[in-house]
Amino acid sequence: MAVLDEQSLWGSVLAELELSLSGANFQTWFKGKTSILSINNSLVEIGCATPYNKVWLEERYLGKIKEIIDRITGASNTLVFTVSSQNLQPTRAREKLSESRTVPLFEETASTDIQDSLKAANVNQRYSFANFIVGPANQLAYAAAKAVVDAPFERYNPLLIYGGVGVGKTHLLHATASAVLLRRAGARVFYCSSETFTNEMIEAIQRRQTVDFRAKYRGVDFLLIDDIQFIAGRESTQEEFFHTFNHLYSQGKQLVFSCDRNPNELANLQERLKNRFAGGLTVTIDPPDQELREAILIAKAKEANLNLDPSLGRLLAKNLGPSVRDLEGGILRIMAASRLTGRKVDLSLVQTAIGVKTTQNKRSVANFVEEIAAFFSLSPSEIKSPRRSPICAFPRQVAMYLLRREVGLSFKEIATELGGRDHTTAIYAVNKVETLVEKGGEVADLVEDLRKKLFRC
């Protein structure tokens, strides 16, 4: 091994990792949380700040770290990870917080000095860039939102983020609004849902206060509107929204929106609004994959002071639904079960709390597809067929939803099992059924009846 002290070697490793990882992931797992404790006869002992940190590095980054160390030292090394605070320096002690630096995922949220501004802007302080967990499914949307904060009114105006239910769109809008208020004293920021925009417009018309309504929405520097899909089909709302959009855009103000799908897919949305959205940046957030779900669960457990073993995190990530809300709900159920029963959080409690079916893996996917098809009075070949008629399309979408939510298949696996479709078809189907189930009603009842039939619960 080449002669190189521990601090210099690890500094070189960190420098390379910083270039290849997202800023948030680098801050979360490496910066100020790792060090080399010792180097002895090609045995490199790496210190990690927490057990979570240790497990995550061993499972996700061992190969990458070893490759860098082997290349720098010119030798083949054995890496050992240890939980130790030795040689770890707090990030804030080594680096002064600046406007442009990337915040770590678990960093504390904003100062209390701007509470009044956040409240006036209708911003939920629970959501920040600091606790938004970044992965391949949402990295582009996260980067775009950060770019709007760093350089508003310039490249990405408007910014529109779209994706299914519970994937983090609302989180990013609130985080963007919070970060703007933190960085830009005196900025006029307002966040609302499209439903709020519509209701306030109707109320203003009824009370003959449209001048006040327009002053409120057109007198801001940053306007963020959530769930823009709900203005589709509402002609008067679209008319007012169009003129509000034009006024703010012409004044060089920043616009940020979210939608549950690409606006081009909204049948009752005016073409001129679609054109306005197309003039900016439109980015998507996909449902989180297995690794991102694990990271989110670790973060949520940490926030709740829940000591969750990494193996249980993997079990939860595999068995809970595809959205972040499903993961949050799982953590809450586990905490409630532990507190109400006085039991420690172990495999048995987790299985009880989230309803893991120990027998379901014994049944093949083909069995599930056959039972789902029979429920809708179809054959398996019909549900897998390319036919797009509602009689086949809706049962197929429900099947995709259940295979994702209850069986834990990946989107690619679902697409393969149901006729060899593209995985984006599975993503769309799961998001669509998820939305319908959350709204309740006939579809929610049907899906629940089918779920109980499949899993005998």
The full set of domain ranges for the chain reads 6-91, 115-285, 290-354, 360-455
Quick check: helix, strand or coil at residue 9? helix
| Integer Cα distance of 306 and 303 in angstroms | 8
The model's pLDDT over 329-364, given as tens digits with 9 standing for 90+, comes to 888 888 888 888 888 888 888 888 887 654 444 456
Range ranked top by mean pLDDT from 19-28, 131-140, 158-167: 158-167
Which residue is it, tokens 């519970």?
A: 166
The domain 115-285 is placed in CATH, from the list 3.90.550.10, 3.40.50.720, 3.40.50.300, 3.40.630.30, at 3.40.50.300
Please report which confidence band the pLDDT of residue 24 belongs to, taking 50, 70 and 90 as the band edges.
low
Prediction pTM value: 0.58
Interstrand relation of 34-40 and 43-48 (parallel, antiparallel or unpaired): antiparallel
Closest C-alpha among 272, 269, 276 to residue 250: 276
Q: How many CB atoms lie within 10 A of CB 34?
A: 25
**Domain 6-91 bears CATH identifier 2.60.40.3080:** no
CATH classification for the domain delimited by 290-354, as one of 3.40.50.300, 3.30.110.30, 1.10.260.40, 1.10.8.60: 1.10.8.60
What residue type is assigned to position 393 of the chain?
Answer: A
H helices of 355-422, where? 365-375, 380-384, 390-402, 411-417
In this predicted structure, which of 25-29, 168-172, 282-286, 434-438 has the lowest mean pLDDT?
Answer: 25-29
The closest alpha carbon to 269, from 160, 389, 169, belongs to 160
Query: Token pair of 448, please?
Result: 């629940």
User: Tokens standing for 241?
Assistant: 């929204």
Task: Enumerate the known binding-site residues.
Answer: 166, 168-170
Query: Is the confidence at residue 93, as pLDDT, over 60?
Result: no
Q: What is the pLDDT of residues 98-156, one digit of tens each?
A: 333 344 444 344 445 577 888 889 999 888 888 888 888 888 999 999 999 888 887 89
The binding site for ATP comprises 166, 168-170
Place of tokens 């002690």: 93
Return the percent helix, strand and coil in the chain, to nearest 5. 60, 10, 35
Q: Both tokens of residue 399?
A: 């099947």
- Ramachandran angles phi, psi of 288, nearest 5°: -65, 140
Could you read off the pLDDT of 384-412 as tens digits, one per residue? 888 888 888 899 999 998 887 777 677 77
The domain made up of 360-455 has a fold known as: Chromosomal Replication Initiator Protein Dnaa; Chain: A; (1.10.1750)
